[in-house]
Amino acid sequence: MFSLSANAQYTDVINSKRPGFSESPYGVGTDVLQFEGGLFYSKRKLQQNFDTKGFGTEVFVRYGKFLEKLEVNLDLAFEKQETITNNLLLFNGNYRSAGLSRLTIGAKYLVYNQKYADKSKEIRSWKKRTSFDKKRLIPSVGVAIGLNTNFLGENFKRDGMSLKAAILLQNDFTNRFILITNIYGNHFGKPYKEYGYIATVTYAVTPNWSIFAENQGIFKNTANEFQIGGGAAYLFSKDLQLDASLRTNLVGDVNTLFAGIGASWRMDKHEDKVIKKETHKASKGKKSGNVFSRLFGKKKKKSRKRKKRRKKKKK
């Protein structure tokens, strides 16, 4: 929800993926361990035949170690689900299930980091200081890849593991107004594979409060889905963020409702790299100072010796 323009991945304020579904191309930075989790309620209804309700918790763990641009993560969800079927041609009944519904191991890498001019130092021209930087139209670019494991609850299992991949884009139009766009594919090589996009607009109302609006399109072999959502986040401290969100479908055969509350917290052990400057010390037996001091110093010493000789002669 909160983003700061920086050359490195690390920011002084926590940078969380929650509460939206999109993901920024930036990582958490080296030696930072971050937890993003919460509670959610979901409801899906398909043409009056299937009504599924779910309640659970989800956790997204992010960690950076060796490279500023690289992040590894773990995405998991535990869900308790109830499905009600009402189809006269088939059968009626209620089915309950509980267990891990999602367990994905992934990584993210920042490919291109867009840099913007610091116009706050421009004092001669108001027009230059307030004009729009056209570089902001070119987004920062990241790539993400993940492995959907099959270590799930019995009723959530699918036929083996599958891959997911995404291109992550971020435009900082201003320091407060940000657009994040994800283009992704999920479950490659499976009959239930899907492709989609997520576009999220975030606006920081104050340094502590931020709101967002999101649109997601999911393209499947069965039925396409288009969802809209929104929410808010509150920055409690530089390492803790609280959030709430709500989303539903825009068009499509599936009626969807998703509501969630959560928090993001990081354990920050990041240290900036110290650039050591070498100091050249004068070696023994060599005279210190610059060329001119040495030259004039020699002349002074020679003149002193001459004066002493003259005094001796006079005596």
**Would you kindly state where each structural domain of the chain is located, as residue ranges?**
32-268
Q: Which residue's structure tokens are 């890498």?
A: 109
Question: What's the CATH architecture for 32-268?
Answer: Beta Barrel (2.40)
In contact, 6 and 17? CB cutoff 8 Å = no
Q: What is the sign of the dihedral through the CA atoms of 20, 23, 29 and 33?
A: positive
Rounded percentage of the chain residues whose pLDDT exceeds 70: 80
Q: Who's near 49: CB < 8 A, 6+ residues apart?
A: 85, 86, 87
Q: What is the pLDDT of residues 153-167, one digit of tens each?
A: 888 888 889 999 999
Of 142-146, 174-178, 270-274, the one with minimum mean pLDDT is 270-274
Rounded CA-CA distance 200/209 in Å is 16
pLDDT band at 40 (very low <50, low <70, confident <90, very high): very high
Q: What is the pLDDT of residues 106-144, one digit of tens each?
A: 999 999 999 887 777 777 887 777 788 888 999 999 999
pLDDT band at 9 (very low <50, low <70, confident <90, very high): low
